[in-house]
Amino acid sequence: MTHRTETIVTLQGVGRKYPGGVVALRDVDLDIARGELVAIVGPSGSGKSTLLHVIGTLDRPSAGRVVIDGFDVARLSDNELSALRAGRIGFVFQLFHLAPGLPVIDNVADGLLYTGVALPERRRRAVRALERVGMGHRLTHRPHELSGGEKQRTAIARAVVGEPALLLADEPTGALDRGTGESLMRLLTDLHKGGTSIVVITHDPDVAAHLSRQVSMLDGRVVGDRTAP
């Protein structure tokens, strides 16, 4: 086992410039401690999605240093980044991205597909993850038979089935109605209490208010960092 570091995410002077001159991130410094529950808030176009991609190692910064769970991203090859994502990072997307036609249990089990775990074990763990998010009764349903909230719970189960050190959620309530969104945020809070570090991106201040720490972004910069008492 690798030794545990204090911070799960360290960004130092991170910038991201796209070809064509668009600057999405400028000089971002951010530390997220293990076990924290952080909201990244900002209007659309503020760079928060780019920040999430950089933290999730889906994108490499054009400047600065990114350290995730003790690994310096700049020193990792594409395959090593893939392994990092497979084993240590879970993603939840606004539009769920569930495979149509595939039963809920297999959608969740696919969260472990790239970790080298055999199929029967993947399914066993998927059942456990689905029970954790309150979807234990929906194992054999297909995504089109689920409500929006159930789809997002399934997606969360897929993200946590590998018990990642870091869970990244990109507007998880964006496609849901208010009540459903509320119960989903409670689920994320519960998962956080179970020890998972969670970063939630949202443009909705009400959603952010659920979370203990709020990082505000504007024009690619971090403009505020508040921790609730």
Question: Residue 171, class by beta-carbon neighbours within 10 Å (0-12 exposed, 13-18 middle, 19+ buried)?
Answer: buried
The continuous run of DSSP H or E covering 80 comes out as helix 78-88
Please tell me whether residue 23 binds other proteins under the rule CB under 8 A: no
**Residue 188 or 210 having the CB closest to other proteins:** 188
Please tell me whether residue 85 binds other proteins under the rule CB under 8 A: yes
Please tell me whether residue 75 binds other proteins under the rule CB under 8 A: yes
Please tell me whether residue 76 binds other proteins under the rule CB under 8 A: yes
What string marks each residue from 143 to 162 as x (binds other proteins by CB under 8 A) or -?
A: ---------------x----
d(CA 106, CA 111): 9
d(CA 146, CA 157): 14
d(CA 66, CA 159): 22
Question: Residue 203, class by beta-carbon neighbours within 10 Å (0-12 exposed, 13-18 middle, 19+ buried)?
Answer: middle
Q: Report the length, in residues, of the chain.
A: 229
With CB under 8 A as the contact rule, the residue among 27, 31, 58, 189 that binds other proteins is 58
Tokens of 174: 């964006």
d(CA 68, CA 61): 13
Please tell me whether residue 44 binds other proteins under the rule CB under 8 A: no
Contacts (CB under 8 A) with other proteins, residues 166-185: none
Q: How far is the CB of 100 from other proteins (least distance, A)?
A: 6
**Residue 96 or 214 having the CB closest to other proteins:** 96
Which residues bind to other proteins, rule: CB under 8 A? 2-3, 50, 53, 56, 58-59, 67, 69-72, 75-80, 82-87, 89, 91, 93, 95, 97, 99-102, 110-111, 113-116, 118-119, 158
